[in-house]
Amino acid sequence: MKQQKYDVAVIGAGMGGLCAAALLVHHGYRTLVVEKLPFVGGRASSFSYKGFTLPTGSLYVETGGVVEGIFKEVGADFPVRPFPIDLCFRIGGKDYVMAKKGGLRGLISNFASEKETQSVMAALRRAFAWNEPSASISIRDWLLQYTQNDKVLAVFRGLSTYQCVNFCDMPASEFVRQLKLGGGATAGAPPQGFLELMNQLVKAIEAKGSRVWTGCRAKRIIAEEGMTKGIVIERGADQIEIAANAVISDVGPHQTVDLSGRGNFEKGYLKELREKVLPLSYIGLAISSNSPLVDFRGVTFLPEGRRQVSVMCTSLVYPEYAPQERHLLQAWATPDSSFLPLDPKKEIDMVVQDLREAIPRFDREAEILHVSYWQKDWPMYRALPGAISQKTPVENLYNVGDGVAPLVPLGLPGCAQSARIVVDDIKQQMKPGAA
Amino acid sequence: MIQKRKCVVLVVNEDRCVGCGLCISFCPSEALAAWGVCAIDKERCTDCLICVDYCPVDALEMTEESTK
């Protein structure tokens, strides 16, 4: 078998893997990234389809936060244009736009008495300022202690769609934390698609002599006597042993175990994985039309349907995503259960029925371009933030990505932050050039 | 004499398929569709196997099938 040496080997070129590699390279570590797919970015990438630019997962990225901070630090361009975080709730057939300040109170007061509004807002204020609610209760059940009003509950159901988790499955603690973190956050999307954004990290990595190999499968993580020594990869017809002082896996904690061999992991760790690293299911539809099916330039929630659905006419903000004189409506929905594999046919039928009822011109103009499900081994999130540590019981073997995101906003910032934590640890453990 | 030979057949492992639709997006022959797990239109499929590379969960598998 051929052999090569790097300081660090990274498996998977998603946001976590590429951020980790770019930071390592920036600090002088010779790094190899291997990616099984023919393109980089994982669920933070994009592709062209019938003239449209469609996402593999992420639709927007936080600006001015940890992701942009890493891009700047490693000298990568961050070609992201602002995204309007304006939220509209279509409730009872009418649109309610959430005000930037005092928006939640204003929204609730449309449907509830002053006393009921006060009860909900006081509970939220306590949850924000004093003590988070329990993780043992869903946000729906937590709210039911303060209101039974269906329209008020619909507002929160909409907000949990934004957090990509079913209202009945979202732990109350997590909902409150995300709501708090989301306040005042800004976001954007790359007009040329997420692949273009992620390619900027590849450029930064390769500019300093490190490598990103796509279409290259990791066959095995070499773990011996409680320590990792590198990985074995398949590149074309070759099997290559990559000796490395540290290995970072961005393919999810469960697959990290499979690649290393279960026998290398402590029983308690494996139990934690089973209990806490649970993939979340989600549904996405790309819909084309001749004119915008929704005129609002931000996100519109349809929180009273069979499923939790939100829509945005992304071509209004990013005309680059659609061919000339065509529009792209993107719809996202949480299935009946976030933590179980979904029944694709049933779920999509429910979402389409919701769209037909909520969008007047849907039947006449909409053409469903593409349907995506995220579940099981390619989920919306591999786990809710804070599930487990980035370090594994195998020395110098780390996980990054959404399975090991710390308590920061869901999604890409969590992936990027996990990468920063891992790189900071590697900097403590070993010097560049030790390989 | 009729000789048996092996040919490659593309199949969808329905347990693994998540329905992400990436294979559909990259199929040059529009031979894949999904309204649930992905399905292969055998008439259109040219066995180019590009979809196998684009499947993130290894749900598209090549099997060898005996034909007469």
With the C-alpha atoms ordered A416, A421, A425, A431, is the resulting torsion angle positive or negative? positive
Q: Are residues A253 and A273 in contact, defined by beta-carbon separation less than 8 angstroms? A: yes
Return the pLDDT at A181.
Answer: 83
Between these two residues, A243 and B61, which has the higher pLDDT value? A243
Return the pLDDT at B63.
Answer: 79
For residue B16, the Cα-to-chain-centroid distance in whole angstroms is 13
User: What CATH number should be reported for the domain whose range is A103-184?
Assistant: 1.10.405
Q: What is the DSSP string of chain B?
A: -PPPEEEEEEEE-TTT-----HHHHH-TT--EEESSSEEE-TTT-----HHHHH-TT--EEEEEEEE-
Q: Is the pLDDT of residue A119 over 50?
A: yes
As given in the structure block, the two tokens for residue A324 are: 């000339």
Residues in chain B closer than 8 A to A58 (CB atoms): none
**Best CATH choice for the domain A2-82+191-277+383-429 from the list 3.10.20.30, 3.30.70.60, 3.50.50.60, 3.40.50.1970:** 3.50.50.60
Confirm or reject contact between B18 and chain A (CB < 8 A). Answer: yes
In this predicted complex, what is the ipTM? 0.84
Quick: pLDDT tens for A127-145.
999 999 999 999 999 999 9
Q: Are residues A153 and A323 in contact, defined by beta-carbon separation less than 8 angstroms? A: no
Query: CA–CA separation, A301 vs A266, rounded Å?
Result: 44
Return the pLDDT at A296.
Answer: 95
Contact B36 A345 (CB under 8 A): yes
Residues in chain B closer than 8 A to A42 (CB atoms): 56
Confidence of residue B6 (pLDDT cuts 50, 70, 90): low
Question: Residue B60: what residue type?
Answer: L
Confidence of residue A316 (pLDDT cuts 50, 70, 90): very high
| Alpha-carbon distances, residue B31 vs B19, B24, B53 (angstroms) | 15, 8, 15
Query: CA–CA separation, A25 vs A74, rounded Å?
Result: 8
- Kindly report the average pLDDT of chain A as a whole number: 95
Q: Is the pLDDT of residue A362 over 50?
A: yes
Contact A38 B53 (CB under 8 A): yes
Beta bridge partners of B64: B8
Return the pLDDT at B39.
Answer: 83
User: What φ, ψ does residue B16 adopt, rounded to 5°?
Assistant: -85, -35
Confirm or reject contact between A377 and chain B (CB < 8 A). Answer: yes
B37 Cβ neighbours under 8 A, 6+ residues apart: A344, B12, B14, B17, B19, B59
Query: CA–CA separation, A290 vs B40, rounded Å?
Result: 30
Query: CA–CA separation, A27 vs A33, rounded Å?
Result: 16
Mean pLDDT of A111-115: 96
| Residue A282 three-state SS | strand
Give me the residue label for tokens 């011996």. Answer: A224
User: What φ, ψ does residue A295 adopt, rounded to 5°?
Assistant: -85, -20
Query: CA–CA separation, A213 vs A181, rounded Å?
Result: 35
Give me the residue label for tokens 């684009």. Answer: B54
Query: CA–CA separation, A384 vs A410, rounded Å?
Result: 8
Min Cα separation A345/chain B (Å): 5
Mean pLDDT of A40-67: 95
A217 to chain B: closest CA residue: B53
Query: CA–CA separation, B33 vs A368, rounded Å?
Result: 12
Residues in chain B closer than 8 A to A215 (CB atoms): 53
Most confident of A191-195, B31-35, B55-59: A191-195
Beta bridge partners of A153: none
Confirm or reject contact between A378 and chain B (CB < 8 A). Answer: yes
Return the pLDDT at A180.
Answer: 87
The pairing of beta strand A238-249 with beta strand A2-11: parallel
Quick: pLDDT tens for A244-289.
999 999 999 999 999 999 999 999 999 999 999 999 999 999 999 9
Return the pLDDT at B8.
Answer: 67
Task: Indicate the residue of A38, A370, A378 with minimum beta-carbon distance to B57.
Answer: A378
Q: What's the fold here for domain A280-374? A: Polyamine Oxidase; Chain A, domain 2 (3.90.660)
| Residue A380 three-state SS | coil
DSSP summary character for residue A393:
S
Confidence of residue B68 (pLDDT cuts 50, 70, 90): very low
Size of interface A-B (CB pairs under 8 A): 54
Query: CA–CA separation, B14 vs A373, rounded Å?
Result: 14
Contact B18 A36 (CB under 8 A): no
Contact B16 A377 (CB under 8 A): yes
Query: CA–CA separation, A70 vs A190, rounded Å?
Result: 16
Confidence of residue A183 (pLDDT cuts 50, 70, 90): confident
With the C-alpha atoms ordered A346, A55, A18, A83, is the resulting torsion angle positive or negative? negative
What is the value of pTM for the model shown? 0.95
Q: Is the pLDDT of residue A121 over 70?
A: yes
Q: Cα angle at A320 between A314 and A324, to 5 degrees?
A: 100
Query: CA–CA separation, A344 vs A39, rounded Å?
Result: 26
Query: CA–CA separation, A23 vs A246, rounded Å?
Result: 14
Domains in chain B: ranges and CATH: 5-67 (3.30.70.20)
Q: Is the pLDDT of residue A3 over 80?
A: yes
A269 Cβ neighbours under 8 A, 6+ residues apart: A388, A392, A393
A37 to chain B: closest CA residue: B54
Residues in chain B closer than 8 A to A377 (CB atoms): 16, 18, 56-57
Return the pLDDT at A342.
Answer: 85
- Helices marked H in A213-288 — which ranges? 253-260, 267-276
Between these two residues, A405 and B1, which has the higher pLDDT value? A405
Between these two residues, B58 and B34, which has the higher pLDDT value? B58
Q: Is the pLDDT of residue A332 over 50?
A: yes
Confidence of residue B1 (pLDDT cuts 50, 70, 90): very low
Return the pLDDT at B62.
Answer: 82
Confidence of residue B36 (pLDDT cuts 50, 70, 90): low
Q: Which stretch of A161-170, A199-208, A306-315, A419-428 has the lowest confidence by average pLDDT? A: A161-170
Return the pLDDT at A408.
Answer: 76
Min Cα separation A309/chain B (Å): 18
Return the pLDDT at B67.
Answer: 47
> Dihedral angle at the C-alpha atoms of A418, A421, A422, A427, nearest 10 degrees?
160
Domain boundaries, chain A: 2-82+191-277+383-429, 103-184, 280-374
Q: Are residues A25 and A432 in contact, defined by beta-carbon separation less than 8 angstroms? A: no
Residues in chain B closer than 8 A to A379 (CB atoms): 18
Confirm or reject contact between B39 and chain A (CB < 8 A). Answer: no
Percent of chain A whose pLDDT exceeds 70: 100
